[in-house]
Structure 1
Amino acid sequence: MTSKERLLAVLNDQHPDRIPWAPLIDGYYTSSLAEQGIHEMNVVETLRYIGADVFERHVPVVREKTDASVKYSVRREGDKEIQTFETPVGSVYQVYQQGGNTSFRIKHFIENKDDVKTYKYVVQSRYYEPDYQPFIKEQDYIGDDGLATASGPLTPIQVLLQDIMGIEGFTYAVADYPDEMHDLMEAMHKSNLECYKVMAESPAEIIIVYEDTSTTVMSPRWFDMYCTDYLNQYADVLHKAGKIYISHMCGKLKGMRYQVANLTVDGVDSICPPTTGDTWAHEALEMWPGKVIIGGIEPPALKRMSVDQTKEYVLDILENIAPGDRFILSTGDATSYGTPIENLIAITELIKQYGNYPIKF
């Protein structure tokens, strides 16, 4: 089988020739290659270099725009970046600060009730246009080496928790002004549905929503209230168009086992074991029969381990998930900056030796 055929086999509940090995590689990791004395490579080149099955993330299929009544601007002040939306009902802004090899948010868009009204206006001004050609070009570039995947919009609560308000801000807001927060989330959901309708007509076969679900950021009750119905509606739009819909859930999930079971998504991506996560791949396969499980390797552990330790770690995963139905071996979220590329190549060699389907020990 080609890598593309192998990945599609698993995603369509068929049996591959061997377990796919498709680590989540992004620009954060590739930017560290020079430190290892390796020439600069893009994501697809890096995956080819290590001999993995290409499963590229975040390939665009949609252009998000706002109408002329909203003006968006970005300016820099020293090591800070300020992003601002100006609308007829007010302005909101957020601030990022650069630090080391990354940046982090030090102010959110929404900090009070007036900001909720303004940001709702921004959401309602949005519309979506097809942008399919970049995706077609990227899939042609990948060819039989794997698949390009597109990214669908998150549930409103996840956007608010991760980006727009933060956990503390959202928690106080839903208690202090629940009606305004409900209206905002409904507006965000309506906007998401319009985006998913455009994605449903796209050439992307696989759509991934990066929910980053974890009991460290929300309770099972909140998931029931704010995620389940929305995600299932998005899945319905995509399934009607023959798409595969996967939810990226890279956190601690055992406390959400019943909530995830109630989702109609086709798979769960970036399953992460302890200590970053709390769920081993074989446990996820047992908890969610019928769903494809992607992940299994804790990224920080992969960075720390020697080649021999990496092989022992992955052999244990393969033994526990045998015979290997519905499973794609990957990192449980993005491969850490500076992970020795020898560890990634060692996993490729191990999969070729021990990963034939069905796995037998």
Structure 2
Amino acid sequence: MNKKERIEAVIRHKKIDKIPWTMYASYPPWGETERRFRNEGLTLIYQHFPICKVTMPEVKVTEESHYLLGSDSGRNVIIRKFSTPRGEVSAKHELFINSLPTPGDLIQKFGSEIDQEMLSWVTGFPFQSESDYEILEFIYENMQFSPNFEEFIKTEELIGSDGFIMANLGQSPFQTLLYQLMGIERCYLEYDSNPKKFRRLYQVLYENLRRKYRLAAESPAHLFWSAENLTSMLTPPDLFQEFYIPFYNEMAEILHKKGKVYAVHMDGNLQNLVHMIKETKIDIIEAFTPPPMGDLSVADAMKIWKDKIIWINFPGTLLATADAKEIKEYTIGMLKSVAPGDNFMIGCTESFPMERWEMAFGAISNTLKEYGNYPIQY
């Protein structure tokens, strides 16, 4: 089996020849080591592919950018404004920099073509006052989606069997409020003090995503990804029951009717939600992070979520601090706990120290070469 066939088999609950090993395509530094790991089985996952294009005819979007640079570090501050007939909201983003642009420089998406992807920090959220409810409702009610299917086909043809594309559908309504529009503190304050308007905006976001999922389900993509950052530390069971489960289940049904597979990024502490997650119609728990970072073991997750696919995120603390022997022992222990290896993949879904790249992932690669064949023998 090639790398793409291996992942396709896992997400369809079929047999494989070896345990897939993956990493988001935006993380590994390209070069000799990256090529070696890919030749040894590492599969790059293109997780940001926008399966739907967005237009907002009634909204004017502008950006202002300025630079703050000290002696050895600085920030690129970007203010993105959204002007509507109901008023204006803006978001403030910041990127770390160590050099200023010159008059002749072209604008690049990333600061380096060899380093890891850099995502901005949101330091100012669009929602700032109660009057912003109406503005945000207008934006999301008037947002229009169109297919990006031809570009998906072209991208898939270019990648061939060497990688896999997840069609990115963004975050669920509550996660959008939590991480994109309000921020954690303001989100829970509004939930408590302004419940009627909060739930109305939630419903507007829900309907917006319902339209998006219905269009996306018509696409040629197989695997669809909800880019959550789910953790029970910020999502108690009562909120998960009210705001998450109905959304996940309806979106899963939309996708399943078209033969699609639904993956949700759940990288936080999940012990308090584990049995509720079991009852959802989600197909893949993606980025599941076991101890020492998470609070739920791989063995327990496999036992409880036996009908779901578990696509783990190899714990970043180990990638950052453990030696090769410790990483090998951890990987072997994990493989033993999932034997024979059905419905399981190993991934890396977060950035890591560049100086650990060759040693840490070399240990994983060597261990999988020795112990990662299916069925797992120990």
Q: Does the TM-score normalized on the shorter chain lie above 0.5?
A: yes
C-alpha separation in 1, matches of 2:86 and 2:197:
15
Per the alignment, residue 357 of structure 1 pairs with: 374
- Out of 54, 57, 60, the residue aligned to residue 64 of structure 1 is 54
Structure 2 SS opposite 1:334: coil
Counterpart AA for 1:177:
N
**Residue deviations 1:306-333, cap 9 Å, x none?**
22222122111111111111101113x3
Instruction: Write out aligned runs for 1:1-361 (5 A).
Output: 1-23=1-23, 25-27=24-26, 29-30=27-28, 33=29, 38=31, 48=38, 51-67=41-57, 69-78=58-67, 79-99=76-96, 103-331=120-348, 333-338=349-354, 339-361=356-378
2:37/2:362 contact within 8 Å kept: no
**Residue deviations 1:199-233, cap 9 Å, x none?**
11111100011111101222111111111001111
**Residue deviations 1:141-193, cap 9 Å, x none?**
22223421111132111011111101110111112221111111111111101
1:268/1:294 contact within 8 Å kept: yes
Structure 2 SS opposite 1:340: helix
Q: Structure 1 212/50 Cα, relative in aligned 2: closer, same or farther at 3 Å?
A: farther
1:271/1:284 contact within 8 Å kept: no
Structure 2 SS opposite 1:282: helix
Q: CA RMSD in A?
A: 2.0
1:50/1:341 contact within 8 Å kept: no
Q: Structure 1 157/18 Cα, relative in aligned 2: closer, same or farther at 3 Å?
A: same
Counterpart AA for 1:97:
E
**Residue deviations 1:104-148, cap 9 Å, x none?**
222110022101111111111101000112211221122223421
Q: CA deviation at 1:243?
A: 0.3
Q: Structure 1 318/99 Cα, relative in aligned 2: closer, same or farther at 3 Å?
A: same
Q: How many residues align?
A: 349
Counterpart AA for 1:80:
V
What is the percent sequence identity of the aligned residues? Answer: 27
Of 342-351 and 108-117, more deviation after overlay is shown by 342-351
Of 210-219 and 340-349, more deviation after overlay is shown by 340-349
Q: Structure 1: which 5+ residue stretches go unaligned?
A: none
Q: Structure 1 50/165 Cα, relative in aligned 2: closer, same or farther at 3 Å?
A: farther
C-alpha separation in 1, matches of 2:292 and 2:334:
15
Counterpart AA for 1:209:
S
Of 168-177 and 342-351, more deviation after overlay is shown by 342-351
Q: Structure 1 282/138 Cα, relative in aligned 2: closer, same or farther at 3 Å?
A: farther
Of 58-67 and 191-200, more deviation after overlay is shown by 58-67
C-alpha separation in 2, matches of 1:194 and 1:223:
22
2:51/2:169 contact within 8 Å kept: no
Structure 2 SS opposite 1:187: helix
Structure 2 SS opposite 1:136: helix
C-alpha separation in 2, matches of 1:204 and 1:276:
32
C-alpha separation in 2, matches of 1:56 and 1:48:
14
C-alpha separation in 2, matches of 1:336 and 1:259:
31
Q: Structure 1 218/137 Cα, relative in aligned 2: closer, same or farther at 3 Å?
A: same
Provide TM-score, normalisation by structure 2.
0.87
Q: Structure 2: which 5+ residue stretches go unaligned?
A: 68-75, 98-117
Q: CA deviation at 1:342?
A: 3.3
Counterpart AA for 1:21:
W
Q: Structure 1 55/26 Cα, relative in aligned 2: closer, same or farther at 3 Å?
A: closer
Q: CA deviation at 1:57?
A: 1.3
Q: CA deviation at 1:40?
A: 11
2:37/2:365 contact within 8 Å kept: no
C-alpha separation in 1, matches of 2:313 and 2:65:
39
Q: CA deviation at 1:46?
A: 8.6
Which ranges of 4 or more aligned residues in structure 1 deviate by more than 4 Å? 38-41
Structure 2 SS opposite 1:356: coil
Q: Structure 1 346/141 Cα, relative in aligned 2: closer, same or farther at 3 Å?
A: farther
**Residue deviations 1:64-114, cap 9 Å, x none?**
1112x2111111133311011111111111112233666422211002210
